[in-house]
C-alpha cells in the first residue's frame, strides 16, 4: 500500500509499505483521515528518522478488532497514538502521558509503528475508542490536537475572570485558547508572527484579540492592558522568542504553560521566572479522560473544530501541504490527509 515517509530534511517520498497483518491482538484500522500536526512539521524539518510514516491524529473504520471483543468490523474509531505501559506509578495514577514508555511505540511517531499517512494501520487495542454516530470522520481526526489544548488549559489552572495569553495560533494554540475561554477566562489574547493566522484566530472566535509578535510595541501594550501581565500564558510555539515573551508577559506569581516543543536547546532568561516567582508548567499530550472528553465535546457541538479545517489532500500533496503550513504567509491551520487518494 502507498504511504508517505520521511526521506530527507523537508522531503517526503511516496513509497510502498507492507500492509499490517491481523494478529488477534492489535486493531487493524482502515484510515479515513489523518491530521498534519506541528510535531510532524518538526520531524519533517529535521528529516529524522528517515522512513518514518507519520500520522498520529486519525479517524478510521475497524477492519479487524484484534482482542477487543466489544468492537466489530465496520465500527468507526480513533485511538490515542501513545503506548503507556499500564503498570508504572504514572500509569496507575492515570497520568499515562508521562509514562516513560509512552512515546517508544507511539503510532506515527516511531519507525516500527507506521502512522496514518497510509491506508491501513495496526493500533494497540486498549488505545482504540469507538466514536458516536454524530461526529464526522474529519472531526474525529482533529480530536487529538484538541485534547492537547484541553490538557494545557487544565494545567494552566485558569480561574473565571482570568486574563490568558496564548502564544502561537496554530491548531494547538487555537485549541488552548478555545478551552481557556471554556474554563472562564474573560480575556484571551493571541500573539502570532503570521498575521493571517492571528487575525483568523479572532475571526473564528477562538481569541478576543490578536497582537503581532514581531511588533516591539506588543509587549508594552499588553503589559499596560493587563495591568502588569496575564494570569496565565500558554506557549504554543517552542522557540526562544516565544518562551521569553511568555515569561515576560505573565504577571508575577502567574503560570506559564509550555506546550511548544523545541528539539534543540534554546536560550531562556531564567531571571524572569526567578524574580517573578513564576510557575513554569510543562504540558505533554493528554490523559485518557481528556481525549475522551474532546470526542464528546465535538459530538455534542460544544466545540466547533470544522472551522479549523482548511483542506483535505491526497498522499501526493502531503509535501506541498507541509510547505504551505510552514510558509508563514498562509492562513491555513489544519490540513487532513486522505490516504486512500493518491
Ligand atoms: N506538548 C504537547 O503535547 C504538544 C502536542 C502537539 C504539538 N506540540 C507542539 O506545539 C507547538 C505548536 O503546534 P501547532 O501544531 O499549533 O504548530 P504550528 O507550527 O501550526 O503553529 C505554531 C505557530 O507559532 C507561530 N509563531 C512562531 N514564532 C512565534 C512567536 N515568537 N510568537 C508567536 N507566534 C509564533 C507560527 O507562525 C505558527 O503559526 C509545536 O512546537 C508542536 O510540536 C506539543
Ligand atoms: Zn498531534
Ligand atoms: Zn507506565
Regarding the beta carbon of 193 and ligand 1, being less than 6 Å apart is answered: yes
Residues carrying CATH 3.90.180.10, the chain: 2-142+305-337
Atom number in ligand 1 closest to CA 171: 16
Residues carrying CATH 3.40.50.720, the chain: 147-282
Helix (H, G, I), strand (E, B) or coil at 302: coil
Regarding the beta carbon of 260 and ligand 1, being less than 6 Å apart is answered: yes
Between the alpha carbon of residue 66 and those of residues 1, 70, 193, the distances in Å are 21, 10, 46
Question: For 125-181, what is each residue's pLDDT tens digit?
Answer: 999 999 999 999 999 999 999 999 999 999 999 999 999 999 999 999 999 999 999
Question: For 91-134, what is each residue's pLDDT tens digit?
Answer: 999 999 989 999 999 999 999 999 999 999 999 999 999 999 99
Task: Say how many residues make up the chain.
Answer: 342
Residues 108, 117 contacting (CB under 8 angstroms): yes
Find the angle CA(93)-CA(99)-CA(104) to the nearest 5 degrees.
Answer: 155
Residues 58, 339 contacting (CB under 8 angstroms): no
Tell whether the model's pLDDT for residue 342 goes beyond 90.
Answer: no
Regarding the beta carbon of 259 and ligand 1, being less than 6 Å apart is answered: yes
Whole-prediction pTM: 0.97
Average pLDDT, the chain: 97
Ligand 1 pocket test: which of 39, 106, 201 has the largest number of ligand atoms within 8 Å of its C-beta? 39
Lookup: cell for 263: 528539539
Ligand 1 pocket test: which of 97, 148, 260 has the largest number of ligand atoms within 8 Å of its C-beta? 260
DSSP single-letter state for residue 96: G
Question: For 269-315, what is each residue's pLDDT tens digit?
Answer: 999 999 999 999 999 999 999 999 999 999 999 999 999 999 999 99
> What CATH superfamily classification does 147-282 receive?
NAD(P)-binding Rossmann-like Domain (3.40.50.720)
Residues 94, 50 contacting (CB under 8 angstroms): no
Which CATH number is 2-142+305-337 given? 3.90.180.10
The protein residue whose alpha carbon is closest to atom 13 in ligand 1 is 38
Question: For 242-278, what is each residue's pLDDT tens digit?
Answer: 999 999 999 999 999 999 999 899 999 999 999 999 9
Regarding the beta carbon of 201 and ligand 1, being less than 6 Å apart is answered: no
Amino acid at each position: 500500500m502507498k504511504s508517505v515517509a520521511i526521506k530527507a530534511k523537508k522531503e517526503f517520498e511516496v513509497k510502498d509499505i507492507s500492509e499490517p497483518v491481523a494478529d488477534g491482538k492489535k486493531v487493524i484500522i482502515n484510515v479515513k483521515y489523518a491530521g498534519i500536526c506541528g510535531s510532524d512539521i518538526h520531524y519533517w524539518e529535521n528529516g529524522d528518522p528517515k522512513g518514518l510514516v507519520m500520522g498520529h491524529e486519525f479517524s478510521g473504520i475497524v477492519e479487524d478488532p484484534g482482542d477487543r471483543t466489544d468492537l466489530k468490523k465496520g465500527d468507526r474509531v480513533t485511538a490515542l497514538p501513545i503506548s503507556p505501559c499500564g503498570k508504572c506509578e504514572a500509569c496507575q495514577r492515570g497520568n499515562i502521558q508521562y509514562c516513560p514508555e509512552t512515546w517508544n511505540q507511539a503510532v506515527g511517531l516511531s519507525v516500527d509503528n507506521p502512522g496514518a499517512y497510509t491506508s491501513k494501520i495496526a493500533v494497540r487495542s486498549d488505545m482504540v475508542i469507538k466514536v458516536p454516530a454524530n461526529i464526522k470522520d474529519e472531526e474525529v481526526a482533529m480530536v487529538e490536537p484538541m485534547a492537547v489544548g484541553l490538557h494545557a488549559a487544565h494545567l494552566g489552572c485558569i480561574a473565571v475572570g482570568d486574563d490568558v495569553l496564548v502564544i502561537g495560533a496554530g491548531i494547538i494554540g487555537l485549541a488552548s485558547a478555545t478551552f481557556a475561554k471554556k474554563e472562564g477566562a474573560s480575556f484571551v489574547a493571541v500573539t502570532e508572527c503570521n498575521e493571517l493566522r492571528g487575525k483568523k484566530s479572532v475571526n473564528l472566535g477562538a481569541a478576543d484579540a490578536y497582537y503581532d509578535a514581531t511588533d516591539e510595541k506588543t509587549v508594552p501594550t499588553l503589559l499596560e492592558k493587563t495591568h502588569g501581565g496575564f494570569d496565565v500564558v500558554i506557549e504554543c510555539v517552542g522557540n526562544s522568542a516565544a518562551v521569553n515573551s511568555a515569561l515576560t508577559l505573565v504577571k508575577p506569581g502567574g503560570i506559564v504553560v509550555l506546550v511548544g516543543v523545541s528539539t534543540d536547546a534554546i536560550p531562556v532568561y531564567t531571571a524572569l521566572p526567578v524574580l517573578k516567582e513564576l510557575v513554569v508548567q510543562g504540558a505533554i499530550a493528554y490523559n485518557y479522560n481528556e481525549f475522551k472528553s474532546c470526542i464528546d465535546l465535538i459530538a455534542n457541538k460544544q466545540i466547533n473544530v470544522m472551522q479549523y479545517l482548511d483542506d483535505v489532500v491526497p498522499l501526493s500533496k502531503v509535501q506541498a501541504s507541509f510547505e504551505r503550513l510552514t510558509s508563514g504567509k498562509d492562513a491555513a491551520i489544519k490540513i487532513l490527509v486522505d490516504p486512500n487518494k493518491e
